[in-house]
Amino acid sequence: MTIEQILDDFSYLDDWEDRYRYVIELGKALPEFSETDRSPANKVEGCVSQVWLKTRAESRDGKTVLTFTGDSDAHIVRGLIAILFAIYSGHSPEEITATDAAAIMSQLGLKDHLTQQRSNGLHAMIARIRAEASAAAAA
């Protein structure tokens, strides 16, 4: 699913409860995340929930792109991970560092409906993805 599809789907959902359910459904659609990938190296610090993100660099059409996999023990956080992957996965490190995911989350209205702890966790996930992109760009 692309971020454009998610933005479009959100535009049809007026009620926050419907949007909340939709985010949870996005999380349910994430691919399985292996137990071996639930390692300290993949754990995202700064999240109240357990969150793991794994980054893989690959070459597509002569340029490096990053793809992400991840998981959380919280349903809504899994959905936030799915949205972040729609924003960032499959893009070059330069595109990732130039993309303002917080602004996109604001467009979705999520910023106003997340607890402070969830917002902090979301920012930690964004920071982790951007740090991985910066490291890949420097390599």
pLDDT, tens digit, 9 for 90 and up, residues 25-82: 999 999 999 999 999 999 999 888 999 999 999 988 889 999 999 999 999 999 999 9
User: In the chain, where are the structural domains located?
Assistant: 3-138
Residues of the chain with pLDDT > 70, as a percent, come to 100
Q: Would you please indicate which residues are annotated as catalytic (active-site) residues?
A: 47
Q: Which helix (H) or strand (E) holds 65?
A: strand 63-72
| Four-way CATH pick for 3-138: 3.60.15.10, 3.90.1010.10, 3.50.50.60, 3.30.1360.120 | 3.90.1010.10
Enclosing H/E stretch for 105 = helix 101-107
Q: What is the pTM of this model?
A: 0.95
pLDDT of residue 114: 86
As a three-state string, the secondary structure of 40-63 is HHHECCCCCCCEEEEEEEEEECCE
